[in-house]
């Protein structure tokens, strides 16, 4: 006679369908979150790039105003020749001093999102400045007066007993009146 022993039910090795679905749901949610972070990072990189380009263009337009290429009393606006998608405007208001203006340069770009940079600076009107051809050449007397420096007799530092006498020494200066 053959005797068979009954065994306890044997558990299968592996994962159940519920465990696989749960793991897959967690994985897909993390992929969606990572995709959102990648999109956010890309948008922030584009904004930084546009901010840098706008700042560079605004500084160049401010340098043009400082050099006199743009009239400070009238201001101006337009687009850049090299980058026509960027617009600019220069506005100036007289400051409290004569021939001095508070200049504001605004640069912007309209795409799916608006990028704008504004720079303000106080400038002296370059139209009021002279140029090198109007300057008077220096004379010998003015050059010597510019170099007028007192020359002391060089001697070692006096002892305490000699300080009052040392202070009475004459100062020699080379100046032309």
Range of the domain at 168: 136-173
Q: Is the residue at 75 inside a domain? A: yes
Residues 107 and 154 in one domain: no
Residue 13 has pLDDT above 60, yes or no: yes
Residue 153 has pLDDT above 90, yes or no: no
- What's the CATH number where 112 sits? 3.30.1300
**Average pLDDT rounded to a whole number, residues 119-143:** 76
Backbone angles phi, psi at 145, to 5 degrees: -65, -35
Residue 148 has pLDDT above 90, yes or no: no
Residues 21 and 100 in one domain: yes
Residues 24 and 91 in one domain: yes
**Average pLDDT rounded to a whole number, residues 42-49:** 92
Please state the domain count of the chain.
Answer: 2
Q: Is the residue at 120 inside a domain? A: yes
Q: Is the residue at 74 inside a domain? A: yes
Residue 174 has pLDDT above 60, yes or no: no
Q: Is the residue at 9 inside a domain? A: no
Residues 30 and 117 in one domain: yes
pTM for the model: 0.59
Q: What is the pLDDT of residue 75?
A: 86
Residues 31 and 116 in one domain: yes
Q: What is the pLDDT of residue 59?
A: 95
Q: What is the pLDDT of residue 72?
A: 86
Q: Is the residue at 5 inside a domain? A: no
């Amino acid at each position: 006679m053959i005797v068979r022993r009954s065994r306890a039910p044997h558990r299968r090795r592996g994962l159940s369908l519920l465990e696989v679905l749960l793991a897959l749901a967690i994985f897909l949610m993390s992929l969606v979150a990572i995709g959102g972070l990648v999109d956010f990072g890309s948008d922030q990189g584009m904004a930084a790039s546009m901010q840098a380009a706008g700042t560079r263009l605004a500084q160049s337009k401010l340098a043009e105003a400082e050099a006199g290429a743009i009239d400070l009393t009238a201001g101006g606006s337009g687009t850049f020749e090299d980058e026509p998608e960027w617009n600019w405007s220069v506005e100036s208001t007289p400051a409290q001093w004569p021939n001095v203006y508070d200049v504001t340069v605004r640069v912007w770009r309209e795409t799916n999102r608006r990028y704008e940079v504004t720079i303000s600076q106080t400038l002296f009107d370059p139209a009021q400045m002279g140029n090198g051809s109007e300057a008077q050449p220096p004379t010998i007397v003015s050059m010597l007066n510019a170099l007028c420096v007192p020359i002391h007799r060089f001697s070692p530092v006096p002892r305490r007993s000699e300080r009052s006498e040392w202070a009475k020494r004459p100062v020699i200066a080379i100046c032309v009146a």
